[in-house]
Chains A and B, each alone.
Chain A
Amino acid sequence: MGSGKTGRFFSYAFLTLSIVPILVGYTWLVIATVSTRTRGLLPINAEGGIGGLTLGNWSFVFESAIWSAMLNSLLIAVAMVIGVGIASTSGGYALSRFKFPGRKGFLTGTLVLHAFKAEMLLIAIFFVLRWLGEIPLIGPYIGFNSVGGVALVMVALELPLGIWLMKGFFDNISWDMERAAMIDGAGRFRVWWQIMLPQVRPGIAALALFTFIAGWNAYLVPFTFTIGTKVANMPVYLNQLISDTAPVNWNQVAAVGLFQMIPLIIFFIFTQELLLNIYAGGSKGT
């Protein structure tokens, strides 16, 4: 690098080289979805020559399994946005603005949990989910092997980050505004709902985007806590296609993969700045 011409050249050469594997991966994904077969990055026809483009790989869109998986993915993602949203905006507000016994402990705990990856707890969460499943009436919807159960676990896992993120946003709001509202006659709940929440809308949007993506992409938790195709979400469904004992149709798999990336591609195109910020933000509490 450097300001000289050679420096410039090496900068761009290095950066371009560094993204080759990423670009190659996506190029294959796109090409494969419209090819009968591929050799490396090349579409191959039945005779082994280049060609053989087809839309046949997309026939899965006429099967109900994909739509059920998509619905499950959507349910998990939306439930996460709502669950993490409520728990983080309320919890973050309390931690940012209230003085109460246990505040320091709670803050430290949130931080530790935020740094701590909870995947190791999945073994024990398995039993918690089985117990939740025993609860009369609502049990089947929030227990083991249910979309609700998966969503609950995912909400909990994202919560430390969400609380820390929202606390950072609340920290930045002027105390005077909250004081003014209290003098105007608002109680703390009203202050939170009518005055504070509208101020942290950018934070809520960032958190919603972040948790939606986390929910939409979720693999490990749904894979661990669901059985069979009925409750499978998109990533689990895709993985089932790959690990089928029958020979894998890689091109169809690619098409399913690209299909499940559609919302992500939309986010990627329209919320670039926000994405780069939120993936940094959660860790620093701002």
Chain B
Amino acid sequence: MTEKQLSATEQLMEQEADSLARAAIGAPKQPRSSLGRRVRSTVSAYGFLLPAIALVITFFIIPGILLIILSFTNLSSANFTEPWEFIGFANFERLFTDPFFPKILRNTVFYVFTTLIFFNLGLALVLALVTTNIPRRRGFFFRLVWLLPRLTPSVVYILMWKRIGSADPFGIYNQFMPEVLGASGGNLFLGGAPWAFVILTNGFVGASFGMIIFTSALMSIPEDLITAAKVDGASTWRIIRDIKLPLIKWPLLFIATYQTLSLLTSFEYILLLTEGGPGLFTTEVWALTAYKRAFSSYFGNSQWAFGATWAIVLVAVALVMAVLYVKIFKFNELVEEPRIENL
């Protein structure tokens, strides 16, 4: 008997025995074995996860591995058709000895921390405090307006900022107050104040996330606590310092780490606004360098391998931070054990 036939016969026999037994004793249907059950339960869990797993493998795991491999090759659009080869750590050497490497590193650190402190964290906190301290509907209105930049397509959003910062006679900023920032009528984002514009564009989107998180944290502080403090004679400032801030410590830390990671790896607005300019690498950050090396014809050649090298360093840093952040916030402990056990 072939294997197929065998298993079919087996199945039939089992079914027969099963139904016989049931007929004889009127007992409920008996499953085959405990092991079979457990396997089936696992299989059904993975069945539900199948679409997600397929996508994660195709677009996270394989690219992750690929990125590592790429960084050790010399693959670029120039030799795409020819056989490329492994070149060891040459890409990494080239990266760290790049004349603009110190500048890009400084830019990245400056960009991430300035935006984080002044906008994603600082302004976000102030906005949350102020909008929760005025009548509900009005606070809601201001938060809603602050959500607009996040909702706007990046291309349109940057288009607006470009017009705000354009040179005379188009620029809105130049129309109203040209003397501040010392732009004197010139283009601001590609001239007078590129960093200010890079940070403003990112900050106006970044601040709303923290604002929303802090707002919900502030709103969940029991009203009694604030009333008690007021009865004790605390001023508004003291209430913020002694009660509100300590109670939203975790959301603050959460936003700080989450946004650091986010700022470190995103570059879309800078790409659209200045492309790292004006001039050479003025506002170029690490993530943008990786992208441009790999994809833009800036240097007449898509240096995929070299771009991948820049990217993999950043991915490594980001992954370490992401893991730390999951650990710090003990997200794992929030995970509840399932309360149905598939038999």
Q: Which residues of A contact B (CB under 8 A)?
A: 1-3, 7-8, 11-12, 14-15, 18-19, 21-26, 28-29, 32, 38-42, 83, 86-88, 90-91, 93-101, 103-104, 106-109, 111-113, 115-128, 132, 152-153, 155-157, 159, 163, 171, 175, 178-179, 182, 188-189, 192, 213, 216-217, 219-220, 224, 234-236, 238-239, 242, 250, 253-254, 257-258, 260-261, 264, 267-268, 272, 275-276, 279-280, 283-285
Contact = CB atoms under 8 A, between A and B. Distances in A.
Contact of A94 (B49, B174, B258, B266): B49
Name which of B64, B151, B156 has the most chain A CB atoms within 10 A of its CB. Answer: B156
Interface string B42-82: 10111111111101101110111011001000000000000
Contact of A119 (B64, B170, B208, B265): B265
Interface of B: 41-42, 44-53, 55-56, 58-60, 62-64, 66-67, 70, 123, 126-127, 129-131, 133-134, 140, 142-157, 159-161, 163-164, 169-172, 174-176, 200, 204, 208-209, 212-213, 216, 235-237, 254, 257-258, 261-262, 264-268, 271-272, 287, 290-291, 294-295, 304, 307-308, 311, 314-315, 318-319, 321-323, 325-326, 331-332, 334-342
B151 A257 contact: no
B134 A24 contact: no
Contacts of A25: 157, 160-161, 163-164
Contact of B46 (A88, A100, A275): A100
B238 to A, nearest CB: 11
A225 to B, nearest CB: 10
Given A1-B129, A117-B265, A188 B58 contact: no
B236 A41 contact: no
Contacts of A284: 213
Contact of A155 (B46, B50, B55, B150): B55
Nearest to A4: B236
B318 A116 contact: yes
B29 to A, nearest CB: 12
Given A40-B172, A120-B290, A22 B63 contact: no
Contacts of B56: 109, 113, 156, 159
A22 to B, nearest CB: 6
Nearest to A90: B48
B159 A253 contact: yes
B133 to A, nearest CB: 5
Given A1-B236, A120-B311, A152-B59, A126 B67 contact: no
Contacts of B140: 272, 276
B160 to A, nearest CB: 3
Contacts of B262: 117
A216 B151 CA distance: 10
B66 A128 contact: yes
B49 A106 contact: yes
Given A2-B236, A123-B308, A235-B153, A19 B49 contact: no
A117 B339 CA distance: 33
A188 B166 CA distance: 59
B314 A120 contact: yes
Nearest to B261: A115
12 contacts: A40-B176, A91-B53, A106-B49, A107-B335, A108-B326, A119-B265, A123-B311, A124-B66, A152-B58, A175-B339, A250-B170, A276-B140
A248 to B, nearest CB: 10
Given A120-B311, A159-B52, A276-B144, 14 more contacts: A1-B129, A15-B130, A28-B164, A41-B172, A121-B60, A124-B64, A128-B66, A156-B60, A217-B152, A224-B291, A234-B153, A236-B155, A238-B155, A242-B155
A188 B342 contact: yes
B55 A220 contact: no
A97 B332 contact: no
Given A2-B236, A178-B340, A275-B151, A122 B291 contact: yes
A41 B175 contact: yes
B63 A128 contact: yes
A108 to B, nearest CB: 6
Contacts of A283: 209, 213, 254, 258
Contacts of B212: 276, 279-280
Nearest to B57: A156
Given A39-B169, A41-B172, A235 B154 contact: yes
Contacts of B209: 279-280, 283
Name which of B145, B261, B332 has the most chain A CB atoms within 10 A of its CB. Answer: B145
Nearest to B42: A100
A126 B304 contact: yes
A24 B171 CA distance: 11
A218 B218 CA distance: 32
A119 B271 CA distance: 13
Contacts of A268: 144, 148, 151
A85 to B, nearest CB: 10
Contacts of B337: 99
Contacts of A260: 153, 156
Given A21-B164, A163-B52, A125 B59 contact: yes
A179 B339 CA distance: 9
Contacts of B44: 98, 188-189
Given A117-B265, A285-B331, A8 B314 contact: no
